[in-house]
Structure formats: C-alpha cells, structure tokens
C-alpha cells in the first residue's frame, strides 16, 4: 500500500523527522486559506498522486502570492498528471499540498528500502538530490551510498559515519543533524513495517539543518493489520480498480502492458511464465496468481479481470497442481466460458494433482478456442503464436 506525500509527512512528524510546514487542500479556495494560515511570502503547490516525477510533469509549482496559490491550485486540481511512473494515461489530481517555502542550500537523496538478497533494510543516499534515482543508478552508480542495517542491532553510529563519508558531509553541526535525521527515518521504516521510504530531495538549509522536502512511503500489505491508523490512509482512488477487485477474490493481480494474459498458481511460477513468454517473443499483459485455494468461481473471476484489458489477444493458463487440483482449474475454465465472453484463444498447461482428469474435462467440453499444451515452453510458444494470429 502506498500513501500520499502529506500523509508520509504526518508520520515523519511523529518521529521528529523535520519537514516544512504544509496543509492539504481539495479546492483552490482551500489552498488560498491554507497558504494564508501558513504565512510567509512564498509557497509550493504540490499535486498529490501516488507517483514520482510530479515536478517534471507540471504538478509542483512555486507561488509568490496568495492569489497565485489559488490560481496554480485551480490549474493542478483536476489535471491528468502524466509522469514517468504513471504511464501515458496519467493520474487524476484530486488533492494539492500547500507547503511553506524553504531555504535550499543543497539537495540530497535519502531512502530506505528492503534488500531481499541481504535480508535487511538498506539506507541509500546520494548527493544527486532532485534527480530520478534510477537515472543516477544507471549513469553514475558511484554517487549512491548503500548501507545495510541489521535489524538485530538497529541503526548505529558506524552506519551514520559511512553515510556521512559517502556524502562528503564534514561540518560538525551538519553531521550531527544528518545523523539524527537518518536514525529517525530508519525508525519510521522499522516501526511501521514499511517496504520503502524515499525523500527526494532531502534539502540542507543555510543553517545546516536537513528537511524532507518530499516524502514517499510504501507498506507491506501483510502487516497492515498491525497498523490500522496507516490502513485508514489508503486512497483507493489511486489504486487500479482491477487489482482491488482481484484482491477481494484472493487473487494477486498486477496489470502490465503486453498482450498475453497469464493465469498461474504461485508467484514464482508466474514470474517464470512471464519470463518464458518474453523469451519466446511475446509480452505478458498481467501477473495473476490464483493461489492455492482457487475454485471455479475465482478462476472465472480471473478470466473476467484479464479480459477487461482490450490489449489481450491470448490467455496462457499455466497450473502446476500441488495444493490446488488441476480438475478444479479445468472446471473453472469451463465456468468462465459460461459466465464471460472468452473471445481469445486460451492455451492451457495443467500438470500435477488430477492432471489426467483435468485433461479429460477439457477434452469432453469441446471448446474450440482452448488449446492444450504439454509443458511451459510449449504453452508459451503457442500463446505467443496465438497472440500474433498464427
């Protein structure tokens, strides 16, 4: 689950992570009043969407008067903001964050992410604040400092010193302020079961203080039961409606840009299936894991969700029957053809528990556009060919 910048900064405040003052607004008039309440003579009007690159897309603008705050808010609210993370369709801006201006001496990058290979959180920092960290990693990876922190001991002084040396922070006051900031951010990450925190930019003021000028947070969905206050921050309007619908049926679904729909059981097999499709020259349209408790209803719902994507030209069902029985999947496919207009070829590879029974069910059904496959490679090849109309 992701949250908005203003929500992330509310969490930061509880841990003493410094941020500029700001107030969220839903209307231009409210934005005007927020700026008036904040005081000063310069403000930043920020679009609130679950995506980065807002500034380059025109979603972050500087205002030098109260009237300009109102004007800019009216321009940003309701716009379809397109960034490198939204895709060409963009995202509708429904909220803006009005934030006080800041004295920016320098811009840095600071983030905390989970390194699954190391099995511990990693603090990433860079002197290239304000830039896309992916671009920095690709072009100048030496400018990114990575410090793994073992949760058993937590954030220690030597972690902080490694970050300081990597960033070239030598002033004693600045060192003290940065260490305090980094430790507080690590605590935010650990205490709230976060998967990712990103501050870009982290600014250094003329007084040597550090402020989170931006804030992004993502959380482990499986841990939200421990954090009802964070779950209350969920903005379902920012989430893919098909992904939300799939979750209600116990399906793990992620929409992609390809043309071959995938229905698989098990995340590892799903990833392997998508890789094989790519290897065979095709492109997957989705990730869909039906899990180990799939039944006819959930399989039918999976087909319905996949076929909502107009780009889908074929569906590859790749099931290894361990926990879930293959005959159950076969019946689900038959059910799907009754409940949903399955108008594209369906390539089916079923192996494992009750696979012979499943093959018999599909054979006796006599459905024209269901194509049997013998293994993963054969199924992927047939799916790619079907998608190409061959």
Annotated active-site residue in 109, 186, 189, 249: 109
Binding site annotation covers 99?
yes
198 is an active site residue: yes
Torsion angle, alpha carbons of 229, 230, 233, 239, to 10: -140
Q: Is 366 annotated as a binding residue?
A: no
Establish whether 292 is an annotated binding residue: no
The reply, when asked if residue 214 is annotated as ligand binding, is: yes
CB of 264 within 8 A of CB of 252? no
Residue 259 among known ligand-binding residues: no
Distance CA 239, CA 227 (A): 19
CB contact set of 134 (below 8 Å; sequence gap of 6+)? none
Task: Work out the number of other CB atoms within 10 angstroms of the CB of residue 367.
Answer: 15
- Please check if 321 is assigned to a binding site: no
Number of other residues whose CB lies within 10 A of the CB of residue 371: 19
Which residues partner with 111 through β-bridges? 124, 198
The CA–CA distances, whole Å, from 315 to 51, 193, 251, 256 equal: 30, 36, 16, 14
Check if 109 is active-site.
yes
**Beta pairing, strands 314-321 & 260-264:** parallel
Flag whether 87 is marked binding.
no
Q: Pairing state of beta strands 120-126 and 144-148?
A: antiparallel
53 is annotated as contributing to ligand binding = yes
Is 323 marked as a binding-site residue? yes
How many Å separate Cα 43 from the centre of its chain?
Answer: 29
308 neighbors 341 (Cβ within 8 angstroms):
no
Phi, psi of 169 (to 5 degrees): -90, 115
* Marked catalytic residue, from 128, 174, 198, 335: 198
Q: Is 90 annotated as a binding residue?
A: no
| Closest alpha carbon to 314 in 361, 350, 277 | 277
Q: Annotation-wise, does 200 bind a ligand?
A: yes
Please report, in range form, the residues annotated as the binding site for substrate: 265, 322-324
Please report, in range form, the residues annotated as the binding site: 46, 53-55, 99, 102, 107, 200, 214, 265, 322-324
Please report, in range form, the residues annotated as the binding site for ATP: 46, 53-55, 99, 102, 107
Please report, in range form, the residues annotated as the binding site for Mg(2+): 200, 214
Return the active site residues: 109, 198
């Amino acid at each position: 689950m992701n949250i908005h910048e203003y929500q992330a900064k509310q969490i930061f405040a509880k841990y003493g992570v410094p941020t500029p003052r700001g107030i969220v607004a839903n209307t231009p008039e409210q934005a005007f009043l927020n700026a008036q309440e904040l005081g000063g003579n310069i403000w930043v009007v920020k679009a609130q969407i679950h995506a980065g690159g807002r500034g380059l897309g025109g979603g972050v603008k500087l205002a030098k008067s109260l009237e300009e705050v109102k004007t800019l808010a009216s321009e940003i609210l309701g716009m379809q903001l397109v960034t490198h993370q939204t895709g060409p369709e963009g995202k509708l801006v429904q909220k803006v964050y009005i934030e006080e201006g800041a004295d920016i001496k320098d811009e840095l990058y600071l983030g905390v992410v989970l390194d699954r290979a190391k099995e511990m959180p990693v603090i990433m920092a860079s002197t290239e604040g304000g830039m896309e960290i992916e671009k920095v990693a690709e072009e100048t990876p030496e400018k990114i400092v990575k410090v793994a922190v073992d949760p058993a001991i937590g954030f220690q002084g030597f972690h902080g010193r490694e970050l300081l040396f990597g960033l070239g922070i030598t002033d004693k006051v600045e060192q003290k302020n940065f260490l305090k900031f980094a430790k507080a951010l690590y605590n935010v990450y650990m205490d709230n079961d976060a998967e990712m925190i990103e501050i870009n930019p982290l600014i250094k003021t003329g007084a040597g203080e550090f402020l989170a000028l931006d804030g992004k947070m993502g959380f482990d969905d499986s841990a939200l039961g421990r954090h009802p206050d964070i779950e209350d921050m969920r903005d379902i309007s920012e989430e893919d409606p098909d992904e939300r619908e799939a979750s209600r049926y116990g399906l793990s679904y992620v929409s992609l840009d390809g043309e071959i729909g995938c229905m698989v059981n098990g995340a590892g097999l799903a990833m392997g299936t998508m890789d094989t499709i790519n290897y065979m020259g095709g492109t997957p349209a989705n990730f869909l894991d039906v899990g180990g408790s799939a039944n006819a209803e959930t399989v039918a719902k999976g087909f319905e969700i996949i076929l909502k994507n107009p780009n889908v030209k074929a569906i590859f069902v790749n099931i290894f029957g361990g926990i879930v029985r293959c005959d159950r999947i076969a019946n689900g496919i038959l059910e799907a053809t009754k409940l949903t207009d399955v108008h594209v070829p369906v390539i089916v590879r079923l192996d494992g528990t009750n696979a012979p029974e499943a093959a018999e069910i599909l054979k006796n059904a006599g459905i024209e556009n269901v194509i049997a496959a013998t293994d993963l490679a054969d199924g992927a090849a047939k799916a790619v060919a079907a998608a190409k109309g061959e």
